[in-house]
Structure 1
């Protein structure tokens, strides 16, 4: 018999941060989507600066 590949794709690991832990860093009325977008932009900038520093 040959091995069959799984019919269901493996799930990516998830990271969940409670809004209550980060909402104080954002203006009132920011949606969860806006918070996520801002956090991802900040992480991208952090990553780029770290890469520059390591060179």
Structure 2
């Protein structure tokens, strides 16, 4: 199997993984905010479209 074929086979797994990381980040951020703490991840690390541009 070529690398390109392997990428195609696992594409949905990767997309599902990103979605799950985003869901976790949302839960973590909400939970830590309620406890008066900062998020366990750098702000918007799993949301590239929301990152601040410096």
TM-score, scaled to structure 2:
0.44
Higher helix proportion (structure 1 or 2): 2
Structure with bigger gyration radius: 1
TM-score, scaled to structure 1:
0.43
The structure whose RCO (Cα within 8 Å, separation 6+) is larger is 2
